[in-house]
Structure 1
Amino acid sequence: MLRLRECFVSRLLSSPSTPTYAIFPLRRLLSAAAPHISPNPGGFAVEDYLVDTCGLTRPQALKASTKLSHLKSPANPDAVLAFLAGLGLSGADVAPVVAKDPQILCAKVDKTLAPVVDGLTGLGLSRSDIARLVSLAHASFRCRSIVPKLHYYLPLLGSFHNFLRLLKRSSHLLSSDLDKLVKPNVAFLRECGLGDCDIAKLCIREPRILAINPERIRAMAACAERLGVRRGSGMFRQGLQAVAFLSEEKVAAKLDYLKNTFRWSDAQVSIAVHKYPNLLGKSKESLKRRSKFLVSKVGVEPVYIAHRPTLLSYSMEGRLRPRYYVIKFLKENGLLDGDLSFFTAVKMTEKVFMEKLISPHKEAAPHLAEDYATACKGEVPANFRLR
């Protein structure tokens, strides 16, 4: 009988088409059957249930069972699994959910899970949206507070898709206090000139930023301002993002590294960071490679880079190096009209670069497009071919 019930639940979980209306009758059926099942003479074998019915590995089940030792019957877990199946979660979906939050099996369907789903549906979420939320929200999904929190976050972040992107990186927003942390931080960011779109972009890059103590976010803003990135400017979001969760000592160390690597003065490093705050987020190895290539190979002056720091944002293999070889080839063969700067060539979109610097030379240099494509794969030819 036990195996029959487990097989039935497993099949139900593997079918995403199970209708929601079938859940509560099923719950009554399973509850009625439960008293007649005795899987273990000593009581309900939780660990075996987690393996056989929920699909957990034995080590996962051993860990999860410590939080479910009070369970005496499979009745409530069966009802929860049936409810999740009704939302469209398959057995493969349910296993990680239970492994992350074993206590979801103890949640009351009628008093907790069903009201949460009703509330989320009222916010416009579809059944598939809610199923994805179950997989990411963990323990927060069985808290009724998830509904008012999404009611606040969805308009702020612009879409449920953006909210899920953030949730995949961190679940802090669902466990954070809206009134004491999140709302004051949002209000402060708006005072700094950030619109909701900017706040959404900032959160997606730095998911914890709205959940920290308001004093910390004010300190981050002050740090960005000391670097010359003013509140209300178009670069303030990037400035805040660049210094987020960095101590003043680490910021100072990054500035020193930039000065030493690019042979910049204090004024030049200030100009570079002001124009491109994300420079502070680049790795030492990345900066070192670009400095060596741009200064030693291309022959760009350090002061030139300081005034055009976005040069350092482009891929070495995908853009800087292959475009340098194209320009060098065109100049050496007298095919370049006018005085095109390296920075101008690098800034061009791929489409514009092809139209202006590759396509016009099909006859004079029929292999140029092929050689450029090869260079973009990191396989730079020894020499671009004229014929």
Structure 2
Amino acid sequence: MLRLRSSILPHLLSSPATYLGSSVHRLFSATATAPRIPPSPSFAVEEYLTDNCGLTRAQALKASAKLSHLKSPSKPDAVLAFLAGLGLSSAHVAAVVAKDPQFLCAKLQTTLAPIAAGLKGLGLSNSEIGRLVSLAPVNFRCKSVVSNIQYYLSLFGSYEDVLRAVKRGPYLLSFDLENAVKPTVAYLQECGLGVRSIAQLLIDQPRVVGTKPERLQEMVASAEALGVPRGSVMFRHALRAVAFLSQEKVAAQVENLKTAFRWSDAEVRIALCKAPMLLVRSKEIMQRRSEFFISEVGLDPAYIAHRPVMLSYSLEGRVRPRSYVLKFLKEKGLLHQQRDYYSALMFGEQVFMEKFICPHKEAAPHLAQDYAAACRGEVPTRFRFT
């Protein structure tokens, strides 16, 4: 069976996009006229799934309920050969079947092969097609997937970005291009978003594609109400933040931020204009950051409002370890008075090391080691402040 899978599909998938050409036609004609094994009345679907597809017993039991109509292994054998021809490993095949058991029932000649050939016509390799199958087996079986992928390639600019979007929302491939996708993209362009910004928005929030026009207009109005104007750099981020929040939820989140950081209406507006994604952070997360920045570090609420990006960094993995370093250097008289707390957080890791760790190797020989430990969640004795 493995020899059959590895021999048929490479010929099938290496054919040009016009898969109904003579070579493929002869292949299917030969297959159609070959002697067929009569269906076995004792065909055990569950055993087939474990022995041939690599599913666990529990997975096979669940999947077999959707395949009870199968009376013979002929169709699933052809599908497995198709997947093998795309280069899918046994683990990936098992994942596809577990995710979409009915993929084994897809028709090779009229569904899978034409779709694969169409995608190859767009320049995709077998392995690239295989990755798409792994991410969205259900949607792959829709013939519209070829035209959808063609459109998304032009919109996103690369196949990798298409896959990123599909990974977040496989349903992206099922939306109607003419009645849903293109009108949404056109409206977002009217709102001042460039093609690249729209692509990034859809990668982050694929569901936006299927949003009804009325809801889309509400999202835009909500983003503008935060003080983020259309066409600005942050407008895409504002849309992403409010995409699926009701007006009541947005209002509640704004109040939570004002309370946590002791911000005025003007200050919360300043903060959200610069970092709209604060709206999707939980109340608990924001409260912990408030306690650290205001109570422990001693930053002024207005200082934070004008530099809200610092609230998006990992408290344990970045903010707290760097704060330890700054406090240690200050207490030892090693910190330049002009060093700004915000800039210390903004630097990339390498630059931070060059500016705050490496210059003090002699005066503080354990600083690099202690900083590394702090990044792991530890607080070395030498970092304890009394």
How far residue 340 of structure 1 moved from its aligned partner, in angstroms, is 1.8
Q: Which runs of 5+ in 2 are unaligned?
A: 14-23
- Label 1:339 to 1:120 Cα distance change in 2 as closer, same or farther (>3 A): same
- Label 1:322 to 1:214 Cα distance change in 2 as closer, same or farther (>3 A): same
Correspondence for 2:143: 144
Correspondence for 2:221: 222
CA offsets per residue over residues 301-360 of structure 1, 9 Å max, x none? Answer: 111111111121122222222222222222222222333221122222222222222222
TM-score (norm 1): 0.87
Asked whether the 8 Å contact 2:142–2:174 carries over to 1, the reply is no
Asked whether the 8 Å contact 1:262–1:291 carries over to 2, the reply is yes
Asked whether the 8 Å contact 2:144–2:174 carries over to 1, the reply is no
CA offsets per residue over residues 168-215 of structure 1, 9 Å max, x none? Answer: 222111111111111111111112222222122212221211122122
Greater CA drift, 128-137 or 103-112: 103-112
1:35 to 25, 29, 37: 37
- Label 1:127 to 1:332 Cα distance change in 2 as closer, same or farther (>3 A): same
Task: Find the residue that maps to 2:124 and give its secondary structure.
Answer: coil
Equivalent-residue separation in structure 1 for 2:133 and 2:329 (angstroms): 57
Equivalent-residue separation in structure 2 for 1:372 and 1:379 (angstroms): 9
Equivalent-residue separation in structure 1 for 2:256 and 2:99 (angstroms): 41
Alignment of 1:152-191 (within 5 A): 152-191=151-190
Alignment of 1:275-294 (within 5 A): 275-294=274-293
Correspondence for 1:343: 342
Equivalent-residue separation in structure 2 for 1:46 and 1:155 (angstroms): 42
- Label 1:369 to 1:85 Cα distance change in 2 as closer, same or farther (>3 A): closer
Equivalent-residue separation in structure 1 for 2:326 and 2:126 (angstroms): 54
Greater CA drift, 302-311 or 31-40: 31-40
Alignment of 1:329-368 (within 5 A): 329-368=328-367
Matched, 1:21 2:11: yes
Tell me which stretches of 4 or more aligned residues in structure 1 moved more than 6 Å: none
- Label 1:369 to 1:63 Cα distance change in 2 as closer, same or farther (>3 A): closer
Greater CA drift, 268-277 or 199-208: 199-208
TM-score (norm 2): 0.87
Percentage identity across paired residues of the two chains: 61
Equivalent-residue separation in structure 1 for 2:79 and 2:303 (angstroms): 63
Alignment of 1:187-266 (within 5 A): 187-266=186-265
How far residue 234 of structure 1 moved from its aligned partner, in angstroms, is 0.6
Correspondence for 1:5: none
Correspondence for 2:300: 301
Greater CA drift, 241-250 or 51-60: 51-60
Asked whether the 8 Å contact 1:27–1:82 carries over to 2, the reply is no
Asked whether the 8 Å contact 1:120–1:130 carries over to 2, the reply is yes
Equivalent-residue separation in structure 2 for 1:161 and 1:206 (angstroms): 16
Task: Find the residue that maps to 1:35 and give its secondary structure.
Answer: coil
CA offsets per residue over residues 27-76 of structure 1, 9 Å max, x none? Answer: 95698454356352xxx544444444333444544444444444444333
- Label 1:87 to 1:331 Cα distance change in 2 as closer, same or farther (>3 A): closer
Equivalent-residue separation in structure 2 for 1:64 and 1:215 (angstroms): 39
Greater CA drift, 179-188 or 316-325: 316-325
Greater CA drift, 17-26 or 74-83: 17-26
Asked whether the 8 Å contact 1:31–1:75 carries over to 2, the reply is no
CA offsets per residue over residues 123-170 of structure 1, 9 Å max, x none? Answer: 010010111111222222222211111110112112111111221222
Correspondence for 2:21: none
How far residue 95 of structure 1 moved from its aligned partner, in angstroms, is 2.8
Equivalent-residue separation in structure 2 for 1:61 and 1:30 (angstroms): 30
Equivalent-residue separation in structure 2 for 1:130 and 1:190 (angstroms): 30
Asked whether the 8 Å contact 1:55–1:91 carries over to 2, the reply is yes
Letter in 1 for 2:371: Y
Alignment of 1:99-118 (within 5 A): 99-118=98-117
